[in-house]
Amino acid sequence: MTTAIRLIRVSLKYMTEKGEVHAVNSVDLAIEQGEFVGIVGPSGSGKSTLLSLIAGLLLPTSGRVEVFGQEVRGPSSQSAYMLQQDCLLEWRTIEGNALLGLEIMGRVSAEKRLTTVTLLNEYGLEEFRHLYPRQLSGGMRQRVALVRTLATEPAICLLDEPFSALDYTSRLTLQNDVSTILRKSGKTCVLVTHDIPEAIAMCDRVIVLTNRPGRVKWNLPIELSAGEKQPLLRRRAPEFGKYFNRIWEEMELSVATEKTS
């Protein structure tokens, strides 16, 4: 297997007038191609920072971030984001939104346009192509955001709490849809979330971070006897609760040590 993402002793600190803030501290991490990895941890543990580092939106103050063996020196078309909100541009049509990434990269062609429209069709959005985002429901909007992410054909998808703004029912449905789509495409995915069951249901492996400055505390492969990849079915596996409790306890510990220190 090829390693898609490798973080070698990655630290990031930034200066404020009060002093230095260490956002993440000496993180070592390797993610294989095609793996679906979840990152959980207490608030402020640098989960989102890790994603920004992989995406090249932030550069580490020390250490090295590699994507397919190449050092990351800035945003590249190899990785694409899905964010907390769908971030659809209200003034563009659904199709215009789906094409945004390609347009910014200057890669729009008749062929790419066709691929994007095909993606929209696949996710049941064909009749909404020429509508505007406000005419769509929250779940459908997030689906458009997914198409926008996939249209640039990234090898790596970075999901930064992509479902946190949705209501519970849409969240479960969309977890299922997004997971199925991404797994079928064989992309390497990193999911940052507050929601522990979401991480267990969607990921092959869950990484627990410590409190700030974030370090990898625990690396937990998820093996559910159901053998299913669909999050909704995985939630029914008998071990689901056990995984939840173990991760919960780890996070509690982190919070507890923070309070005593």
Partner 1 sequence: MLLLKKLLRRYYLSKQAQTEEHADYLAKVLLTRATITLIQIALLVGFFTLWEFAAEHKIVDAFLVSRPTRVWQTVLSLHANGSLYLHVGVTSLETVIGFIGGTVIGTLLAAVLWWWPNVSRTLDPYLVVLNSLPKIALGPLFIVWLGTSPTTIVAMALAISLITTILVVHSGFQEVDPLKLKLVNSFGATKWQAFKYIVLPGSLPTILSALKVNVGLSWVGVIVGEFLVSRAGLGYLAIYGGQVLNMHLVMTSVLLLAVAAAVMYQLVVLFEKKIMAHHQ
Spatial CB neighbours of 159, under 8 Å, sequence gap ≥ 6: 81, 82, 178, 189, 190, 191, 192, 193
Residue 14 vs 248, nearer CB to partner 1: 14
Cα of 218 vs its chain's centroid, Å: 18
Buried b (16+ CB within 10 A) or exposed e, 122-149: ebebeebbeebbeebebbbbbbbbbbbb
Of 21 and 105, CB closest to partner 1: 105
Cβ closer to partner 1: 130 or 184? 130
Smallest gap from Cβ 105 to partner 1, in A, equals 6
CB of 20 to partner 1, least distance (A): 23
> Are the CB atoms for 26 and 11 separated by under 8 Å?
yes
Smallest gap from Cβ 126 to partner 1, in A, equals: 20
Q: Which is nearer to partner 1, 133 or 197 (CB)?
A: 133
CB of 218 to partner 1, least distance (A): 28
Which one, 178 or 247, has the nearer CB to partner 1?
178
Nearer to partner 1, 20 or 90 (CB): 90
List the Cα angle 81/39/46 in 5-degree steps.
80
Q: Are 136 and 142 in contact (CB under 8 A)?
A: no
Q: Pick between residue 152 and residue 179 the one whose CB is nearest to partner 1.
A: 152
* Cβ at position 150, least distance to partner 1 in Å: 13
Query: Site residues (CB under 8 A) for partner 1?
Result: 55, 57, 74-77, 79-81, 83-85, 87, 89-91, 100-101, 103-105, 132, 134, 152, 158
Query: For residue 25, what are the CA distances in angstroms to 13, 113, 183, 197?
Result: 8, 42, 31, 26
CB of 48 to partner 1, least distance (A): 10
Q: In the sheet that 156-160 helps form, which strands lie side by side, from edge to edge?
A: 79-82, 156-160, 188-192, 36-40, 205-209, 216-221
Tokens standing for residue 151 = 């249209």
- Lookup: tokens for 73: 């020196």
- The answer to whether the CB of 138 falls within 8 A of the CB of 165 is yes
